[in-house]
Amino acid sequence: MVDDGWETLAEPLPAVATTLAPRKARSIISYNTSPDLNFDRSINPYQGCEHGCIYCFARPTHAYLNLSPGLDFETRLFYKPNAAEVLDAELRKPGYVPARIVLGANTDAYQPAERGLRITRSILEVLAAFHHPVTIVTKSQLVERDLDILVPMAAQGLASVCVSITTLDAALKRDLEPRAAAPVARLRAVRSLADAGIPVTVLFAPVIPFVNDAEMERVLQAAAAAGATGAGYIFLRLPREVAPLFREWLGARYPLKAAHVMRLVRAARGGQDYEAAFGTRMRGQGAYAELLAQRFRVACTRFGLHGRTAALRTDRFAVPPRRGDQLALW
């Protein structure tokens, strides 16, 4: 049994009806050529996310399904029941060249539905069989369930985990990420993973001016004390439908400082709610963005954190025999 940390909430969350529907994958590895990312491929076992993070940059993907990036994104979820089977086939293709796969780059691979569906676990089982490197990005303590797979992989230089921690304030977490694990639960996960020998990076993201930006040093210090060895941060991203959703949330939750928050966001985004240019979309630009970058560098030095994900090995990759392959030799 894995504790997601929900018991730390002061009062129960309102009930939200969630539907889960299978959506078979024709392919499972998504490739990118972004110079802002330190990986070129990822896997997302789920579309939509129960965590309900108001700032999630993946919300607009639900519009492609003729569903709303708002409530539908949080409550009408899709999972890929054949993910492991398709991944096995893709890794067996002649000429496949291994490189680190990031699991959960868009939507969390360990959101609550994973507890029963175990899609992420089935993907990890395939990656382990191929000795394929993987980095997991998650807000959930549920990742601890799969230590039996991740520990042997990490021992071979094949696995690392990035735990996203947006705030140490349980009340602010409740506003920003209503159904994600509590901050204390995420720090426990960092400690559990680190103690098991798995390289852990903490991601302070997103940085929201006048909302959680003052916590950067405290989050990094707590993560380092829990055993994290690397760190990263991302400035608030508000693409397409996310911007009006965030502005509405901000006005309702923090009406007295909403205008100031958005002024700082736009100052770092060339006067707009969002600017998608490579090189600045993850960090912003201008005086405020430069101050964040300087604070991050100083904090990493102070707490012994490096600013990158642990390097993983690709030379161990090997295609395992399928059941019956040996019989084919006779």
User: Residue 259 falls within a domain, yes or no?
Assistant: no
Percentage of the chain exceeding pLDDT 70: 93
Query: What single-letter amino acid sits at 8?
Result: T
Asked if the structure places residue 270 within a domain, the reply is no
Q: Which two tokens stand for residue 186?
A: 């995420």
Give 279-320 pLDDT, tens digit per residue.
899 999 999 999 999 999 999 999 999 877 778 999 999 999
Helices (H), 52-178: 71-75, 83-91, 114-117, 119-129, 147-155, 170-176
pLDDT at 231 over 80: yes
Domain count along the chain: 1
**pLDDT tens-digit series, residues 192-207:** 999 999 999 999 999 9
In a domain, 309, yes or no: no
Report yes or no on 150 lying in a domain.
yes
Segment 231-256 shows an average pLDDT of: 96
DSSP string, 142-203: GGGGGHHHHHHHHHTT-EEEEEE---S-HHHHHHHSTTSPPHHHHHHHHHHHHHTT--EEEE
pLDDT-based confidence at 8, cuts 50/70/90? very low
Asked whether residue 140 is assigned to any structural domain, the reply reads yes
Nearest-angstrom CA–CA distance, 156 and 51: 32
- Tokens, residue 263: 């002024």
CATH number at residue 125: 3.20.20.70
Q: How does residue 14 score in pLDDT terms, banded at 50, 70 and 90?
A: low
Q: Is the pLDDT of residue 4 over 50?
A: no
Q: Is the pTM of this model over 0.75?
A: yes
243 assigned to some structural domain: no
Query: Domain for residue 185, yes or no?
Result: yes
Q: For a pLDDT cut of 90, what percent of the chain falls above it?
A: 86
Tokens of 242: 């996310």
Q: Taking the C-alpha atoms of 207, 210, 211 and 217 in order, what is their torsion angle to the nearest 10 degrees?
A: 60
Round to whole Å and give the CA distance between 327 and 168. Answer: 56
What are the strands, taking DSSP E only, across the chain? 19-22, 30-31, 41-43, 46-47, 76-79, 101-103, 134-138, 159-164, 200-207, 230-235
Decide: 261 and 211 in contact? Cβ < 8 Å.
yes
Q: Is residue 307 part of a domain?
A: no
Phi, then psi, of 59 in degrees rounded to 5: -55, -40
Q: Is the pLDDT of residue 172 over 50?
A: yes
Give the total residue count for the chain: 330
Write out the residue range of the structural domain in which residue 173 sits: 14-236
pLDDT, one tens digit per residue, over 254-273 is 999 999 999 999 999 999 99
